[in-house]
Structure 1
Amino acid sequence: MATPGDLAVLQSILNPCTPFGDLPDLDVVEKGADALDDDDAYDPDLLKRVQDLELKGVLAAESGDIKVAIERFSEAIQLLPNRPSAHNNQAQALRLQGDVDGALKELNQAVNLSSGKGRSACQALVQRGLVYRLQGQDEAAREDFQCAAGLGSQFARHQLALMNPYAALCNRMLTEMVEKLRNPSVQQN
C-alpha cells in the first residue's frame, strides 16, 4: 500500500501541472461525512423507495432506455422533491435525450437544493460545468469546476488544468519532449 508521500510523488509525475502533494480525493477523505449528501432528514422507508427508483432509472439509462429513465427519476422527484440526487440524475438523462435546457434547469435545482455541498452538488457542478464548456461559456464552466474541485472532484481539477493556458503549454511541451525521447532522430518543428 502506498503512503501519502508516495501518492504525492506519483501525482506530480503523472500530472506535472498540478501542485505537488495534490492527492486525488484527499479533501473528500478529510471532510468525512460533510462530503456526503445528508439523507438523514428523510423518512427511511420513503428514502429507500426513492433510491430504488433512482437505481431503476440509472439501469434504464445504461441500457439505452432514456424515456424510462426519465420516468423513474421524475417519480423519485415527486416523492422527495427537495432531495438533489434525483434532480442530478434527471439532468443527465435529459442531456442524453438532447434536452440541454431541461438538463440545466435540473442541475441548477440540484445545486440549489444541496446548497452547493455534498456529493450531489459536486456531481451537478461538474455536469453543469461540462454543459457550459460545450456551450462556449468558459468562465461559467471554470466557476463550476472550481466549486466542484473544492468538494473533492479530481475530474473538475483536471478540467481546470485543461482550461488553464499555462497548463496547456506545459502539456504541449511535455508531449514534445517525450516524443523527442522516443524518437531522437525525428526533428520536431
Structure 2
Amino acid sequence: MTTISQECLSDHDRQVLESIFNPSQIGGEELLYNGKEEFPEDLQDLAEPNDPRIRLSKKFELEAIQLTEEGKLPEAINLFNRAIETAPERPAPWNNRAQAYRYIGNEKAALDDIEQALKLSKRSGRTGCRALCQRGVLRRKNKDTDGAREDFEEAAKLGSQFARTQLIELNPYAALCNQMLREVMKLK
C-alpha cells in the first residue's frame, strides 16, 4: 500500500483532508458568533422600523459584542440587558446575550435567551438560524444528540454552513468513513 506524505499535498488538498478528518473544525463554532459565517443573501432578519429605540438598542448591542470579544463579559451582559430593555422585541440581543452567558457557564440563562430569540425571530432569518445553531451546540454538549440534530437540520435548511458540518459530524456513517480514510491515508 502506498502512503501519501504531507509534503506532496497542496494547501487545497490539506484543507480538503482536514475537512474530512475534522468536519467540526470547518470554520468552527466561532462562526456562529463573529458574523463571518456565510449566509445566503436572502437570509435576512425581518426589517426593523427606523425608530430611535431600535437604533439605541443596536448601538448597545454592538458595544456589548465588542466587550464580549474583549473578554469583558459582565460589562457585555449589562449592555445586552440595556439593548433588550430598550427594544425587547428584537431577537438579536437575546441571542447574543445567550452567547455571553454560555461563555460564563450559565447554560440555563443562555437557553432561556435562545428560546426567546427563537420565539421573536419565528425561527427564521439570520438570528433564528444562529439561535438554532447555538441551541444545537448546547444540546450536543449535553448529550441530546437527537435535539441537536433537529436544530442543526433546521439551521442547515436556512443556509448555515456550520450546521451542515455539525450534521456531518453527527452522522455515524460519516464518522466511520473518516476513520477508514485515516487508516488508509496514514495521516494524523
TM-score, normalization by structure 2: 0.77
Question: Partner residue of 1:4?
Answer: none
The equivalent of 1:52 in structure 2 is 59
Structure 2 residue 172 is the aligned partner of structure 1 residue 165: yes
Whole-Å Cα distance in 2 between the matches of residues 63 and 26 of structure 1? 23
The 5-angstrom pairing of residues 111-122 of structure 1 reads 111-122=118-129
Residue 7 of structure 1 corresponds to which residue in structure 2? none
Aligned to 1:107: 114
Question: Counterparts of 1:166 and 1:38 in 2: how far apart (Å)?
Answer: 38
DSSP-derived class of the 2:40 partner: helix
- Please tell me whether Structure 1 or Structure 2 has the larger radius of gyration of its CA atoms: 1
> Can you list the C-alpha shifts for 1:86-137, whole angstroms capped at 9, x where unaligned?
0000100111111100000000110111111000001111010000111111
Report the counterpart of residue 47 of structure 2 in structure 1: 39
| Preserved CA contact (<8 Å) 2:38 2:160 | no
CA distance in 2, matches of 1:47, 1:78: 11
What SS class does the counterpart of residue 37 from structure 1 fall into? coil
Q: Distance in 2 between matches of 1:86 and 1:156?
A: 21
State, as a whole percentage, how many aligned pairs show the same letter: 40
Q: Which amino acid aligns with 2:158?
A: L
Query: Runs of 5+ in structure 1 lacking a partner?
Result: 1-9, 19-24, 184-189
Unpaired runs of at least 5, structure 2? 1-12, 24-36
Aligned residue identity for 1:139: D
- Counterpart of 2:46 in structure 1: which amino acid? D
* From 137, 146, 150, the counterpart of 2:153: 146
Deviations 1:66-93 (A, max 9, x none): 1110011111111111111000001001
C-alpha root-mean-square deviation of aligned residues, in Å? 2.3
Are 2:103 and 1:96 aligned? Answer: yes
Higher relative contact order (CA 8 A, sep 6+): 2
Pairwise mapping of residues 56-135 of structure 1 onto structure 2 (< 5 A)? 56-135=63-142
The answer to whether the Cα contact below 8 Å between 2:38 and 2:161 also exists between their aligned partners in 1 is no
Normalising by the residue count of structure 1, what TM-score does the alignment of the two structures yield? 0.77
Distance 1:26 1:73, change over 3 A: closer
Q: Write the distance in 2 (CA, Å) between the matches of 1:134 and 1:172.
A: 22
Match of 1:28 in 2: 40
Which amino acid letter does the alignment assign opposite residue 72 of structure 1?
A: L
Contact 2:57 2:86 in 1 (8 A): yes
